[in-house]
Structure 1
């Protein structure tokens, strides 16, 4: 669904924390309700549920993002780059902020491309605010949790192929695609966990990561007894890159 304009323009909007949706080694995802009361007493207001992804602090995090994803990316401040390379306490904090902003930028770019991802709302520090994918307050299941008929599996697979094609046409790959970072909501596949999106030209590992994406996806669908050839998919995507 498109992002309502008032989410980022209405100064009267109030955020309410509704609890943790998911915890992970690198980040926690909290549920937020952003609401604007009615303009007049008794008139209905507007509200929407959002996901706040918060990269965890150094005292709690097991942050271990590989630098293979960041090859070809620039760091403006040399002091920050040195700190990240040394993995000092300051460097790890810089890395978390960088990942949050990288995820927000990836969400913006992929939304503009028409890829199926949560719409971005805002970023600040180590928190990324984005569309919540789910029913009510219940998050949509990961693809790995879905039990589907053969026909439904084919439809889900085709959606994932189209997602990867959309990225490949712009010289991009998810870089860490798997059944665990693809959500399924009302039959729609939505890709999440995007800070590692790689540029296939500037990152020397880009095509290896794209191939790994194909293998991860096809291995899962093959286990569900849907015929899928990772190398064939990879070749199709390479052709999209060089169209």
Structure 2
């Protein structure tokens, strides 16, 4: 009797139906990725590197999703922000996010780090990472960038859980943070406060939101540390605070109150220049009271 290899390689219907269905799956080929695309990095992130649960409905968690870079949103002193669209391949769900990518210290323009780092957890003295930081080696620069990224990630998660108006943090992968892309009512990226010209009523509302945000931040134990009209977004009539890697611990950092006072003066000055009578010292007093 002649052996038929194809017949022996293909189980009959009865055998196929007896397979454990946990080991049966459909295979759907997908197109090769184009320039500016990558597979979603969600699946490779550890639980603590994903945003607080419950995840918003717009967060795409499909392992087969594709990330497409749509362009630069802004450049900053320590990082650049890009717009990334994450698309699930089989159900047409998409989410546009802000991808903040930290540079190493050779490519940053924000060098006054020491005052912000006081009171923070640092690599163990004498350890490999501490030595690399001290030497400024390539590994040390990578460690420094990772520390700043993780510091911002922790603050975003903490402040989101506290109900403060920050972008929802989706995930962190190395020195890249993916977060909610804050948009105006037309779906366009929200402008910075510095680029807006609010009327008197909206100006009053934004000042009250700013007061609530600064006091809420202080109640969590932090000052922004570098607050100005350039790192506040206006999404319609809603104020959102961004850029938090240098957030200062009000207790552990000896200059914590100094940073908080400077934040209050900076933003109050912007409002005063537009005719608002908000007082920096009163704002500072509210924040200090909330902190203690």
Q: Normalising by the residue count of structure 1, what TM-score does the alignment of the two structures yield? A: 0.89
What pairs with 1:221-236 in structure 2 (closer than 5 Å)? 221-236=271-286
CA contact (8 A) 1:3 1:119 kept: no
Cα pair distance change 1:14/1:31, threshold 3 Å? same
Q: Once the two structures are superposed, what CA deviation does each residue of 1:10-36 show, in whole Å capped at 9, x if it has no partner?
A: 323221111111123321111100121
Structure 1 residue 61: Cα displacement: 3.3
CA contact (8 A) 1:58 1:89 kept: no
Which secondary structure does the structure 2 equivalent of 1:7 belong to? coil
More strand by share: 1
Supply the RMSD in Å over aligned alpha carbons. Answer: 2.0
Q: Which residue of 1 aligns with 2:255?
A: 205
Residue 18 in structure 1 maps to residue 65 in structure 2: no
CA contact (8 A) 1:25 1:62 kept: yes
Deviates more, 1:216-225 or 1:169-178: 169-178
Cα pair distance change 1:4/1:12, threshold 3 Å? farther
Q: Which residue of 1 aligns with 2:26?
A: none
CA contact (8 A) 2:170 2:180 kept: yes
CA contact (8 A) 2:60 2:94 kept: no
Unaligned runs of 5+ in 2: 1-53
Tell me: higher relative CO, structure 1 or 2? Use CA pairs within 8 A at least 6 residues apart: 1
Which secondary structure does the structure 2 equivalent of 1:114 belong to? coil
Q: Normalising by the residue count of structure 2, what TM-score does the alignment of the two structures yield? A: 0.75
CA distance in 1, matches of 2:105, 2:287: 38
Find the partner of 1:36 among 61, 78, 88. Answer: 88
Unaligned runs of 5+ in 1: 40-44
Cα pair distance change 1:188/1:113, threshold 3 Å? same
Structure 1 residue 214: Cα displacement: 0.5
